[in-house]
Amino acid sequence: MKKEKVVVIGTNHAGTHSILEIANKYKDTHEVVTYDKNDNISFLGCGMALWIGGVIDSGDGLFYATPESLREAGAEVHMKHDFKNVDFDKKTIEVEDIDTGEMKTETYDKLIFAIGSWPILPPLPGHDLENIMYAKIFQNAQSAIEKIKDPSIKKVTVVGAGYIGIELVEAFKENGKEVTLINDMDVLNRYYDSNFQEMMRANLEKNGIIMQLGETVTEFAGDGKVSKVITTKGEYDTDLVLMSIGFKPNTGILADTGIELTPRGAILTNNRMETSIKDVYAIGDCATVYNNASEQFENIALATNAVRTGIVAGHNVCGTPLEMQGVQGSNAIHIFGLTLSSTGLTECVAKSSGMNVETVEFTDLIKSAFMPENDEITVKVVWEKETKRIVGAQMASTSDITLALHFFSLAIQERYTMDKLALTDTFFLPHFNQPHNFITKAGLLALGKL
């Protein structure tokens, strides 16, 4: 029996996991061919700041697969090949060999787009000056490592106060640099409500970060190399700029192909990661996933989502039905000893989306009060008023409380309600928590509002 050919464009997190599912579990019935324009695969960008900050000695451990390991699994791997075109009617793609310029046409039975996302690069005056950098791929991290070794680089400016921007702020500070953070809004505004933003802002200021919030960069100045960042409110001397203002789906090449895209350019998919084109799938940062909190398909670019969408598509292209269970956008950040974590919707996002929500927020000790080593935790839970279903949660502490986020994430996925949360059965041991720990306490405090 002739094997079906699955072509995967992209070997990022999503692509790699999809390839491995097909190669390891369906090798008797399917062959898998992959193309990627890079020369390496599976780079864990979340470790970039750890490498730059010296927490880890090298970037070698930030790869969990190689072209060779995919080939050993049975995949046909073509690196440094740039995807150029697709013909959905003929079921062909065109790729260009970056080294030789040679064009190649590849046929497919099933096609998976794992083309990822790319940093937003505003064409500001001076954007092409030397020492203006971006954070995405392995080569970006390598360049940043080399730059911070240069003793002439004393002042670093990070533009963008999302997760990557703030992690890089800490990394540059740990290297002894004077660091300025510029953002047009508050820190982490997409993931947390105001009280949690204030905690992180105060934490950064306490550790010597110069904060310039509520400002928009309008220009870069310098003679060959960047020496100044100009914003709507001021000018700031700098030796190095790291741009981190967000990412967009890398789907520009698909704009006129007939495949259905969202207004922001993500490939619209269902829970099997199928697109609007028969036998074509999309996974990872370039695709949509179902948000259980908002009850809409959205582009939520997280490594965890990429991995799961890759696994789901890998089975579906080979004929085994498997569906995503939706996502909550669960995330966390650890900066200068402070850990914030969130899942689902913030109060601000929920209300701006037209949802009628209620909240509870409190600060308490994690363990019983008589325990000698004890830290505080601040918790906020957001729920839909009419249904009582939990739609979001946020936590902050100097202790590692991130495992509790898994509970809140599952609660959102399973449409758990606040009255159930109040009486959920949890264990008690003074070493770890209180009789009414911070999870159930959120429900108990909410009872009067339900």
Q: Are 7 and 112 in contact (CB under 8 A)?
A: yes
d(CA 21, CA 11): 13
Q: Which two tokens stand for residue 141?
A: 């991290």
Q: What is Dmax (Cα atoms) for the chain?
A: 72
Task: Name the token pair of 119.
Answer: 């940093």
Burial (Cβ within 10 Å: 0-12, 13-18, ≥19) of residue 20: buried
Separation between Cα atoms, residue 275 and residue 286, nearest integer Å = 12
Instruction: Give the E-state strand segments of 148-286 in sequence order.
Output: 155-159, 178-183, 210-213, 217-221, 228-231, 235-237, 240-243, 247-249, 280-282
Q: How far apart are CA 21 and CA 17, in angstroms?
A: 6
CA 256 to chain centre: 27
Number of alpha carbons in the 13 Å side-chain half-sphere of residue 442: 28
CA-derived radius of gyration, the chain: 23
- Residue 361, classified by CB atoms within 10 Å of its CB into exposed (0-12), middle (13-18) or buried (19+), is middle
In sign, the C-alpha dihedral spanning 131, 132, 133, 139 is negative
Taking the CA of residue 359 as centre, how many other CA atoms within 13 Å lie in the half-sphere pointing to its CB? 18
C-alpha span between 348 and 363 (Å, rounded): 20
**Catalytically annotated residues:** 13, 46
